[in-house]
Amino acid sequence: MIGLILYDGNSLTCSRGGVTAYPDMIQLGIPSAIVAGNGSTTEAQDALAYTTVDPLPRPGAENWVVFWEGANDLIGGATVDEAIQHLAAYCAHRRAAGWQVMLVTLLPRSSDGTPDTYEASRQAVNVWLRARWADIADMLVDVGADPCMGHAGQE
């Protein structure tokens, strides 16, 4: 039995510019909430999660956090290794608090301020996640491989 699903991450999760947040389009018939933050990095969401996520798992049930971040880390100047370390730390902290974690791979970006290194770094993070997600999480959703939105230029 699933007790609760929380959606955490950056603006791709909580919406931006009036676009409906993707979790609001998912009707599972079970309790869920969005705890993501626009412009937020993995480290920032990890710090917030100690008070916004960790106290909420429901005893005796499967509790899931769907976490979609990493892109803002790379945009903010984190290296590939740092972005992976931040994702691993977030997952470890949530799992220690009783959550199962579903990670989501990164999508391409071409907005103003996106570093020239973003696409290569995104690809490297996604390659690592595809190969090693089970080391840090309970499930992976690979939107970065989706032919309609996961390839460079298909933002």
pLDDT value of position 84? 98
Q: What digits encode the pLDDT tens for the residues 6-47?
A: 999 998 898 877 788 888 888 888 899 999 988 899 999 999
Q: What is the rounded average pLDDT for all residues in the chain?
A: 93
pTM of the model: 0.94
Q: What is the pLDDT of residues 105-145, one digit of tens each?
A: 999 998 888 999 999 999 999 999 999 999 999 999 999 99
Per-residue pLDDT, 6 = 96
77 has a pLDDT exceeding 80: yes
Q: What are residue 139's DSSP bridge partners? A: 102
Q: Give the three-class secondary structure for 48.
A: helix
CB 46 within 8 A of CB 93: yes
